Amino acid sequence: MVLRVWDAAMAANIGPVVVAAADQEIYDAVTAAGGTAILTDPDLPSGSDRVWQATQAFDPDGKYDVLLNLQGDLPTFEPQALHAVMSVMANPMYDVGTLVAPVTSDAEKNAASVGTPGAYSDLACRNAKPGWKTLPCRTFADAIDAVHQGRAELAMLACENSLAGRVPDIHSLLPASGLQIVGEHFQRVEHCLLVVPGTRMEQVRRVHTHPVALGQIRNLIRDYNLEPVAEFDTAGAAELVALWKKPEEAAVASALAAELYGLDILKKNVEDADHNTTRFYITSRTADRPPVETPNVMTTLIFSVKNQPGALYKVLGGFATNGVNMTRLESYMSGETFAASRFLLDVDGHPDDIRLSKALAELDFFAQNTTILGVYPQSPFRQHTSAEGQDTPRSMPVHAISG
């Protein structure tokens, strides 16, 4: 992703391009591509601080009058946009400028995804919001920041996977993010074996992909005696294979990644299970609650209970007595004392509906710090899937299944 931004900046041809790298991995990737990178202090509080530190190292004598700060996670900008900025900044009346444009159609709206372009979160954005642009972000926190900063209208955040289970980062990030859940999307994960054009199966020696994906393609690895290599995400592995151009290296990623990076699909659906699906929360700065009479509504909330006998039983009893269906209940420890547990809960219904309203009133009586994270329409996926296969064992918590 950073290399794409660097390449676009080089194409603008308006001056030297320097990447302010936060870690060694970025520095190595840029320099290997022939670019200039400066390793900066990883503890700097912002990207602006990082750019300033790199500028002091690259131009200590102040040779250059204008400094353009490009977002490393914005690979879709056009080189001519830099010329538009320079035409304004050449005027000595202006010290600081920001390139902006009004959003007038869906084609100009951004949905923030986590991972390299072509990752499954990118695919989820494209399927959930056709016509929107995807804004690739390195982490969940970066995607949340992109919405707060106005660079994206929505963030697509993975919350659970049918094989790997929950995404722990959501527990810590979403409640404090200030974002509201306004929808959900279920994305089928269909792994493809990607290779450089012309590669035959017998030439492949190593397979690169996200660590979670490696656990989902054990049969492929065993049947072809491949060496598994863990990478940052699935699409990032595809980008590396395309860069290396070696037939012995393959990636497991989406068909979209093959299209974006010019790779051939040697094998489709190489995943061990055919029900591998990731659920995403669609989040926004503002709530968008459907009317109370809307059918098939979901409510997501968090709450705390004390570690004492019967506490959770009392909290959840109101949902049973009022006929409210719970579709998800996740627990995690809060703070450092292990004296209280936090729970994330998905339930059917609208908070203003009489049954859920009564259940929430009982919950409030026994629970603490109850916060509703979102009220939103259920995905049609729920109405089109049966209960079969819901007891499939889950292997491990997943930290970046969206990749």
Catalytic residue among 140, 232, 280, 343: 280
**Which amino acid is residue 300, in one-letter code?**
T
CATH number of 294-379: 3.30.70.260
Q: Where are the domains of the chain?
A: 1-90, 192-267, 294-379
Q: What is the pLDDT of residue 106?
A: 66
336 versus 173: which is more confidently predicted?
A: 173
Taking the C-alpha atoms of residue 252 and residue 217, their distance in angstroms, rounded to an integer, is 9
Q: What is the pLDDT of residue 102?
A: 63
Taking the CA atoms of residue 90, residue 62, residue 45 and residue 122 in that order, the dihedral angle to the nearest 10 degrees is: 50
Spatial neighbors of 22 by CB under 8 A, at least 6 apart, are 40, 42, 44, 50
- What the block records as the tokens of 295 is 């059918």
Average pLDDT over residues 351-370: 93
Res. 391: pLDDT tops 60: no
CATH topology of domain 1-90: Spore Coat Polysaccharide Biosynthesis Protein SpsA; Chain A (3.90.550)
Spatial neighbors of 337 by CB under 8 A, at least 6 apart, are none
Taking the C-alpha atoms of residue 271 and residue 278, their distance in angstroms, rounded to an integer, is 14
Average pLDDT over residues 19-31: 90
Catalytic residue among 199, 234, 278, 299: 278
What per-residue string of b and e applies to 147-164 under the rule 16 or more CB within 10 Å gives b? beeebbbbbbbbbbbbbb
Most confidently modeled of 39-53, 93-107, 152-166, 248-262? 248-262
Average pLDDT over residues 16-20: 92
Side-chain-side CA neighbours of 273 within 13 Å: the count stands at 18
Q: What is the pLDDT of residue 222?
A: 97
Taking the CA atoms of residue 269, residue 271, residue 274 and residue 280 in that order, the dihedral angle to the nearest 10 degrees is: -100
The band of 336, judged by pLDDT with boundaries at 50, 70 and 90, is low
- Token look-up 């959770």 returns 312
First to last CA, the chain: 13
Q: Is 338 a catalytic residue?
A: no
Q: Is 278 a catalytic residue?
A: yes
Res. 72: pLDDT tops 90: no
Least confident interval from 57-71, 120-134, 182-196: 57-71
Res. 255: pLDDT tops 90: yes
Res. 401: pLDDT tops 70: no
- The answer to pTM > 0.75 is no
238 versus 399: which is more confidently predicted?
A: 238
- What the block records as the tokens of 397 is 């918590």
Q: What is the pLDDT of residue 8?
A: 84
* Other Cβ atoms closer than 10 A to 223: 9
Average pLDDT over residues 293-316: 89
Q: What is the pLDDT of residue 388?
A: 47
CATH topology of domain 192-267: D-Maltodextrin-Binding Protein; domain 2 (3.40.190)
Res. 399: pLDDT tops 90: no
